[in-house]
Chains A and B, each alone.
Chain A
Amino acid sequence: MNENENNFESLRRLLALKRHETPPPGYFDHFSGTVMARIRAGEGGAAERQESGLSWLSRMLAAFEAKPAFAGAFAFSLCLFLVFGIVYAERPDVLPQPMLQSQQDSSPLAYATTPGGLNSLPAEQPVAVAISSSTNPVFSSQSAGPWFASQGAAVQPVNFILPGN
């Protein structure tokens, strides 16, 4: 390393000339005063921000600036949350099992979710119960036909004529 130091001696002497580059005379007389004034102003500003309820945001941003690791951890947790949300959203519909199990015996909703659908619903079971017990669309146009057929009802087209026409 000493040999390297000798090789660079001229360069070091040249670089040492940069020590002569100084700020204007009197510059440092006011430097610390300016810094302290800015610190005081910042403290006053912080108190005002705290009163206005924005301090948590500024504190968080300051923490991000001061600790890059904190910012990274926050970003990572956000990404994790996003990925979890996407994966969960792409899963097939999962019905709340405990609710279904409690109504497994006779609820029309339970019949609607079985492979046989409403076709296996007992005739005496009131349909209104199924409608009121769930916000999911239980009936479809396809499943309504067989059920009405099993009740022996005839479906006839209706043509309304409005008065005045």
Chain B
Amino acid sequence: MAEPVPGSEPQPSASVDEDELVRGAREGDLAAYDELVKRYQERIYATLYHMTSNHEDANDLAQEAFIKAFHALKSFKGGSSFYTWLYRIAVNKTINFLKQRKNRTHMSLDDMDFNAEHDPDLMALISDQTPRRAAGLSELQKKLNEALMKLSEHHRLVVVMHDVQGLSHEEIAEAAGCNVGTVRSRLFYARQQLQGFLADYLKTT
């Protein structure tokens, strides 16, 4: 199961209001849509950032995804949650973008927040032996992002949504437009690949 990520769980009261907000936005109420944007901007942005490893690209893609979703609201039938539907738009847009950007990769390497330096997991992972000791925070981040970028878009998406964003297999399947079995197999394959890429940075048990 995916670990819950702070801020990623839908709040009960918020989900009740969501239908009304969607209905209002569909009728052209921009204030209602503004509320929906505020509600999901961080999660959508974070996913797109981890997919692209670039803040500027993630910013553009997130904005375009929200704009496209607004114009496509009339086609939203309500079969899934608005969040999943929005996620699918953002993900499709990002995968298309990444296919076009195939040969162009640039990372932003100094984007970790201050709290990362005090994360016990990070301290534990930067071992006191081997090259891991020398690897600073930015070096680790660079390697992590490089390893992720070596995965195909679909495998990276599943890892990001599950291991970084904390979404369940079912939610990922709905957003990615595939079945749960495919999500599980992609996740397993992607993790295997990452383990190989990041062998130096993973503690041997």
Checking A13, A14, A17, A40 against B116 with a beta-carbon cut-off of 8 angstroms, the contacting residue is A17
| In contact, A13 and B194 (Cβ under 8 angstroms) | no
Q: Please, how many angstroms separate the alpha-carbon atoms of A38 and B115 in the complex?
A: 33
| In contact, B121 and A17 (Cβ under 8 angstroms) | yes
Tell whether B149 is near chain A: CB-to-CB under 8 Å: no
Tell whether A15 is near chain B: CB-to-CB under 8 Å: yes
| In contact, A11 and B202 (Cβ under 8 angstroms) | yes
Tell whether A34 is near chain B: CB-to-CB under 8 Å: yes
Tell whether B141 is near chain A: CB-to-CB under 8 Å: yes
For the complex of A and B, the 8 pairs showing the least CB-CB separation, nearest first, are A20-B116, A32-B37, A15-B163, A10-B202, A8-B191, A35-B66, A13-B121, A20-B112
Tell whether B122 is near chain A: CB-to-CB under 8 Å: yes
Q: Please, how many angstroms separate the alpha-carbon atoms of A96 and B112 in the complex?
A: 78
Q: Please, how many angstroms separate the alpha-carbon atoms of A68 and B119 in the complex?
A: 44
| In contact, A15 and B194 (Cβ under 8 angstroms) | yes
Q: Known contacts A15-B159, A20-B119, A39-B33; decide if A10 and B111 are in contact (CB<8 Å).
A: no
| In contact, A35 and B119 (Cβ under 8 angstroms) | no
Tell whether B203 is near chain A: CB-to-CB under 8 Å: yes
Q: Please, how many angstroms separate the alpha-carbon atoms of A131 and B62 in the complex?
A: 72
Chain A residues with CB under 8 A of B184: 1
Chain A residues 1 to 30 lying within 8 A of chain B, measured CB to CB, are: 1, 4-5, 8, 10-24, 28
Q: Please, how many angstroms separate the alpha-carbon atoms of A158 and B122 in the complex?
A: 109
Chain B residues 67 to 96 lying within 8 A of chain A, measured CB to CB, are: 67-68, 70-72, 75
Chain A residues 112 to 130 lying within 8 A of chain B, measured CB to CB, are: none
Tell whether B178 is near chain A: CB-to-CB under 8 Å: no
Tell whether A149 is near chain B: CB-to-CB under 8 Å: no
Chain A residues with CB under 8 A of B194: 11, 15
| In contact, A23 and B202 (Cβ under 8 angstroms) | no
Which of B's residues lie within 8 Å of A, judged by CB? 1, 3, 5, 30, 33-34, 37-38, 41-42, 45-46, 49-50, 55, 58-59, 62-63, 66-68, 70-72, 75, 111-113, 115-116, 119, 121-122, 124-125, 140-141, 144, 159-160, 163-164, 184, 188, 191, 194-195, 198, 201-203, 205
| In contact, B67 and A38 (Cβ under 8 angstroms) | yes
Chain A residues 37 to 79 lying within 8 A of chain B, measured CB to CB, are: 38-40, 42, 62, 66
| In contact, A36 and B34 (Cβ under 8 angstroms) | yes
| In contact, A31 and B3 (Cβ under 8 angstroms) | no
Chain A residues with CB under 8 A of B63: 31, 34-35, 38
Checking A14, A16, A22 against B202 with a beta-carbon cut-off of 8 angstroms, the contacting residue is A14
Q: Please, how many angstroms separate the alpha-carbon atoms of A19 and B141 in the complex?
A: 11
Name the distance in Å between B90's Cβ and chain A's nearest Cβ: 12
| In contact, B164 and A15 (Cβ under 8 angstroms) | yes
Looking across the interface, which residue of chain B has its beta carbon closest to that of A10?
A: B202
Looking across the interface, which residue of chain A has its beta carbon closest to that of B115?
A: A20
A sample of 12 inter-chain contacts (CB < 8 A) reads: A13-B121, A13-B125, A15-B163, A17-B116, A17-B119, A18-B50, A19-B164, A22-B112, A31-B41, A32-B37, A38-B67, A66-B68
Checking A15, A35, A40 against B37 with a beta-carbon cut-off of 8 angstroms, the contacting residue is A35
Chain A residues with CB under 8 A of B33: 36, 39
| In contact, A32 and B125 (Cβ under 8 angstroms) | no
Q: Please, how many angstroms separate the alpha-carbon atoms of A73 and B7 in the complex?
A: 41
Q: Please, how many angstroms separate the alpha-carbon atoms of A17 and B201 in the complex?
A: 13
| In contact, B163 and A32 (Cβ under 8 angstroms) | no
